[in-house]
Chains A and B, each alone.
Chain A
Amino acid sequence: MNLLLNFFMKFFVPSANAAEHVGFFEAIKPPIDISTNGHLIDSLFQLTTNLILFFFFFVCLGIFGFSYLYSKKRHPKPLYNHGTSRKQLALVAGIGALVFIMVDMQITTISNHDFINHFLNYPKEENEKVLRVEVLAQQWAWNFRYPGKDGIFNTEDDVVTLNDLRVPVNTKVIFQVSSKDVIHALYFPNARIKVDAMPGRISRLWYELTKTGLYDIACAEMCGTFHYRMQAKLTVYPQDEFETWQKEMQERATHVTEQDKPDLFWGWQWESTSTLSKN
């Protein structure tokens, strides 16, 4: 009886911790976009939605309209027609072609353009000021590695953090991502992007963030029991604050951090993106 009571309490008593002041349409918005490329995804999503609604409107019109007009009561004599006349075939083929041209060609072209010119267009490390970060995923945490003062990865002065990624605003950041054990996925909801972290492989990702603040990083690929706890924090600093933080961390890396802590020795040599973009 007690159990039954609990069950009904769930249904009818609103919970106090639910964010009640947030309206429905506010709540279902994707997380705030903080990257330079996120709007490409949002606008393509919107365009696809509009096109889908356009075609789904006609599907619904067919289902509900025909159901209304041609019910047995209203339309007792069906039309004996096999839909094989040349006109009808042309109409059906035309609908197929219309969907292909109006929807597929359009969104494929846009998506392809965005993919090649933005998401795959890695910044040139030689020419531009970029921040490079190595990411090692493990069950169930994110390790981040910044090069030390020497600018070379996998040396003793590297800055290594756990579940704590800090990047400067308005600076291009390139990640090289790998995994220690199982497949994970580095997911930045606020930058609308994710990439798999796979053992034995290095995958890449870049973005440029435009808003300072504290954001969530999640693991998007099922990676075991505590997959849901594989959370890291992304701090976006203004340029100067990032430099202060970086300097401090580099100091600590050379002086404070224990040299024989095995957790810190996981880096790899940075693979230059200029050689990568060729293949």
Chain B
Amino acid sequence: MAFFEQDIHDAPSTFLSKYVFSFDHKVIAKQFLWYGIAFLGIGGMMALMIRWTLAFPGEPFPIIGDILFPNSGGIVPPDTYAMLFTLHGTIMIFFAITPILIGAFGNFCIPLMIGARDMVFPTLNMLSFWLAVLSAVLLLASLFTPLGGAAGGWTSYPTLSTLIGSAGVGQTLWCLSLFVLGVSSTMGAVNYIATIITLRAPGMGYFDMPLTVWGLWLTAVLNAIFLPVLGAGLLLLTFDRVFGTTFFLAGAAATSGSGDPVLFQHVFWIFGHPEVYILILPAWGIVSDLLSFFSRKPAFGAKATALAMTSITILSTVVYGHHMYSTQMSPLLTQSFMMLTMVISIPSAVFFANWLGTLWKGSIRFQTPMLFSLGVVFVFGLGGLTGLYLATVSTDLYLHDTYFVVGHFHYTMAASVLLGGFAGTYFWFPKMYGRMMNERLGKIHFWISMVGLNGIFMGMMIIGHAGMHRRIYNPFVYEFLQNLIPLNRFITYSALVMGAGQLFFVWNFIYSMYKGPIATQNPWEVGTLDWTIPSPAPHYNFKEIPVVRCGPHELGNPNLVGKDFQYQTEELVKA
């Protein structure tokens, strides 16, 4: 089915061409992985500072507080606090999760799983990474401008994000940084879409692709369509800040003409709602595959799962208004968005049923990737269901902009995506580095993370329901929040525990890269194309382009002899 010959060029020999400016999708994937993990650490530290401030207002941040905030004696000052939560959101979404889930797994898995030698546009792929680096430089540079980095929240609503609310050049750099990142992600997305369409191995129909590839593909489609929308909004915002236009200025602030700050919210959420699915779809795909691989039986209703993910992708584009109920849109719009949002629960219920159906009568091996996948099913169940409160307009009138929202979207975007990402990392690590990660450390990492994040995010939903609103430096200036001090401390302790638990992962990752046991070609005993080649994956992956003869989840067939799975290159054995 490949549309053209995939030539094999000589392997790059210099350090620069091999590890830095590499065209090889596997190297770019690892670059994205390191980039993402580094930012995950930075964003996580920011989260800990935020949590510390909320639990112990007015007390110096331990150990590194004195170095970071010398002017206030180690206490996080209120303006820095605003900067911290703005950059925590921005970094986690655009610089940690996007590179890991989409940049790393997208680049690594797509060619390997569809039997291609590389991406269809290797140069574009390389540019995509280096633009992401440029964007990170811009973002970090904004921290060193006179008035500091952006502090208007990751949503950066005007007019707070215009010169009226943020005078510093940091906010402008933030806009430019995300604009550049948008270009980078769009390049990646175009590449993924084209690669999946043109370079599938001969014999591989769309429903013969592993669900991981389905998830990444749908993500790429959303990315390609909606990141330009964000880019447009940010460009207009930059014009407002730099050239004195008034797209988003209104009221007393607009000296000439008049725009509308709510217009930005529309533009932002047209992008912003698909964005949450951009982040979660790869995780869904990975989990759907891993559940089947480690249950040793075919994915239950794989086609239905793929179609459910597709319909969610489509629905995700028409529900964005539920982020804006409190701006008082026309009631007709409010009702429509409420109804459309609710419809999403049908496909969600379908793939949840399929996930559980996959476990049903399997022979489950509880290795680390499986534990993380089961974790995703649990936390996404919670995260998805709690969305219902926020989709219904009357409860949203109360819960909008409270910690309930924060807890909900962290369950879906942080907990599920992070666990999905870890599942993928533990699973593909042997193919990336040719060594296995340590199971025991992986399991410790899983249980600490699971306990920690449920403590954090369940706690957040509880304090949100108790009325605590978002983005406040010191909640306890309010009388009605006085009772929440102990619970806020509990959340902070959970966050510290979870943060400490990640050290097990970092240690495991670095140690296993050099000292882990050598991985066999197919340590997990699964049949997708990435496991038909040696570990680590060789230069240009496949010497011969494989021919696909069966689906990706042929496990547990009783008529197989000697093994319980089939490679996709083998003729399907009749059951």
Q: Give a binary string over B378-409; 1 marks a CB under 8 Å from any A CB, 0 the rest.
A: 10011001101100111101101110000000
Query: Which of A22-30, A163-171, A244-252 forms part of the interface with chain B?
Result: A22-30
Residues of chain A from 73 to 117 with CB closer than 8 A to chain B in the complex: 75-84, 88-89, 91-93, 95-100, 103-105, 107-108, 110-112, 114-116
Q: How far apart sit A220 and B472, CA to CA, in the bound complex (Å)?
A: 9
Residues of chain A from 53 to 67 with CB closer than 8 A to chain B in the complex: 55-56, 59-60, 62-63, 66-67
Q: How far apart sit A195 and B327, CA to CA, in the bound complex (Å)?
A: 7
Given that A45-B389, A115-B393 are contacting pairs, would A92 and B160 also be in contact in the complex, using a CB cutoff of 8 Å? no
B549 to chain A minimum Cβ distance, whole angstroms, is: 16
Residues of chain A from 1 to 33 with CB closer than 8 A to chain B in the complex: 3-4, 6-7, 10-11, 15, 17-19, 22, 24, 26-31
Contact (Cβ within 8 A) A11 B331: no
Query: Which of B131-139, B333-341, B518-526 forms part of the interface with chain A?
Result: B333-341
On chain A, the residues within 8 Å of B558 by CB distance are 77, 80
Which residue of chain B has the shortest Cβ distance to A42 in the bound complex? B398
Contact (Cβ within 8 A) A221 B297: no
Residues of chain B from 141 to 181 with CB closer than 8 A to chain A in the complex: 151-153, 157-160, 164-165
On chain B, the residues within 8 Å of A187 by CB distance are 401, 469
Given that A19-B485, A198-B262, A218-B469 are contacting pairs, would A228 and B62 also be in contact in the complex, using a CB cutoff of 8 Å? no
Which residue of chain B has the shortest Cβ distance to A7 in the bound complex? B62
Contact of B153 among A96, A193, A222 (CB under 8 A): A222
B84 within 8 A of A: no
Residues of chain B from 120 to 135 with CB closer than 8 A to chain A in the complex: none
B374 within 8 A of A: yes
A262 within 8 A of B: no
Q: Give a binary string over A178-202; 1 marks a CB under 8 Å from any B CB, 0 the rest.
A: 1111110101011011111011110
B287 to chain A minimum Cβ distance, whole angstroms, is: 12
A125 within 8 A of B: no
On chain B, the residues within 8 Å of A77 by CB distance are 363, 556, 558
Q: How far apart sit A114 and B395, CA to CA, in the bound complex (Å)?
A: 10
Report the tally of A-B residue pairs with Cβ distances under 8 A: 342
B140 within 8 A of A: no
Contact of A78 among B350, B361, B392, B477 (CB under 8 A): B361
Contact (Cβ within 8 A) B300 A41: no
Contact (Cβ within 8 A) B363 A115: no
Contact (Cβ within 8 A) A114 B394: yes
Contact (Cβ within 8 A) A228 B474: yes
Contact (Cβ within 8 A) B397 A72: no
Residues of chain B from 270 to 321 with CB closer than 8 A to chain A in the complex: 295-304
Which residue of chain B has the shortest Cβ distance to A200 in the bound complex? B250
Residues of chain B from 327 to 364 with CB closer than 8 A to chain A in the complex: 327-328, 331, 334-335, 338-339, 342-343, 345-347, 349-350, 352-364
B251 within 8 A of A: yes
A224 within 8 A of B: yes
Contact (Cβ within 8 A) B298 A81: yes
Contact (Cβ within 8 A) A92 B253: no
On chain A, the residues within 8 Å of B362 by CB distance are 66, 70, 75, 78-79
B470 within 8 A of A: yes
B10 within 8 A of A: no
A120 within 8 A of B: yes
Query: Which of B34-42, B460-468, B540-548 forms part of the interface with chain A?
Result: B460-468
Contact (Cβ within 8 A) B164 A78: no
Contact (Cβ within 8 A) B302 A82: yes
Q: How far apart sit A222 and B493, CA to CA, in the bound complex (Å)?
A: 25
Contact of A44 among B151, B251, B296, B395 (CB under 8 A): B395
Given that A48-B395, A222-B160 are contacting pairs, would A62 and B359 also be in contact in the complex, using a CB cutoff of 8 Å? yes
Q: How far apart sit A92 and B553, CA to CA, in the bound complex (Å)?
A: 19
Contact of B395 among A45, A223, A229 (CB under 8 A): A45
Q: How far apart sit A52 and B258, CA to CA, in the bound complex (Å)?
A: 45
Contact of B258 among A66, A200, A215 (CB under 8 A): A200
Contact of A60 among B79, B354, B378 (CB under 8 A): B378
On chain A, the residues within 8 Å of B489 by CB distance are 18
Q: How far apart sit A111 and B555, CA to CA, in the bound complex (Å)?
A: 46
Given that A115-B334, A200-B250, A227-B82 are contacting pairs, would A31 and B467 also be in contact in the complex, using a CB cutoff of 8 Å? yes
Which residue of chain A has the shortest Cβ distance to B151 in the bound complex? A225
On chain A, the residues within 8 Å of B295 by CB distance are 70, 78
B450 to chain A minimum Cβ distance, whole angstroms, is: 12
Contact (Cβ within 8 A) B165 A193: no
B254 within 8 A of A: yes
Q: How far apart sit A192 and B402, CA to CA, in the bound complex (Å)?
A: 11
A265 within 8 A of B: no
Which residue of chain B has the shortest Cβ distance to A104 in the bound complex? B342
A231 within 8 A of B: yes
A177 to chain B minimum Cβ distance, whole angstroms, is: 9
A267 to chain B minimum Cβ distance, whole angstroms, is: 13
Contact (Cβ within 8 A) A196 B473: no
On chain B, the residues within 8 Å of A131 by CB distance are none
A226 within 8 A of B: yes
Q: How far apart sit A24 and B388, CA to CA, in the bound complex (Å)?
A: 25
Q: Which among A92, A185, A221, A222 has the highest number of chain B CB atoms within 10 Å?
A: A222
Contact (Cβ within 8 A) B327 A189: no
On chain B, the residues within 8 Å of A120 by CB distance are 331
Which residue of chain B has the shortest Cβ distance to A40 in the bound complex? B394
On chain B, the residues within 8 Å of A93 by CB distance are 350
On chain B, the residues within 8 Å of A119 by CB distance are 394, 397
Contact (Cβ within 8 A) A83 B357: yes
Q: How far apart sit A132 and B478, CA to CA, in the bound complex (Å)?
A: 26
Contact (Cβ within 8 A) B365 A72: yes
Which residue of chain A has the shortest Cβ distance to B64 in the bound complex? A3
Contact (Cβ within 8 A) B349 A99: yes
Which residue of chain A has the shortest Cβ distance to B493 in the bound complex? A11
Residues of chain A from 208 to 250 with CB closer than 8 A to chain B in the complex: 215-216, 218-229, 231
Contact (Cβ within 8 A) A76 B250: no
Residue pairs across A and B with Cβ atoms less than 8 A apart, 8 shown, are A63-B359, A72-B364, A83-B298, A99-B349, A111-B393, A180-B252, A182-B159, A201-B260
Given pairs A83-B302, A93-B350, A183-B158, 18 additional interface contacts (CB within 8 A): A4-B63, A28-B466, A48-B395, A56-B381, A59-B377, A62-B360, A78-B362, A82-B302, A83-B300, A83-B357, A104-B345, A111-B394, A178-B251, A183-B157, A195-B326, A198-B261, A222-B470, A228-B474
The 7 closest A-B pairs by CB, nearest first: A200-B250, A199-B251, A83-B300, A62-B356, A228-B472, A111-B392, A78-B556
Name B's A-contacting residues (CB within 8 A): 56, 59-60, 62-63, 66, 78-79, 82, 151-153, 157-160, 164-165, 249-254, 258, 260-262, 295-304, 326-328, 331, 334-335, 338-339, 342-343, 345-347, 349-350, 352-366, 374, 377-378, 381-382, 385-386, 388-389, 392-395, 397-398, 400-402, 462-463, 465-467, 469-475, 477-480, 482-487, 489, 493, 553, 555-558, 564, 575
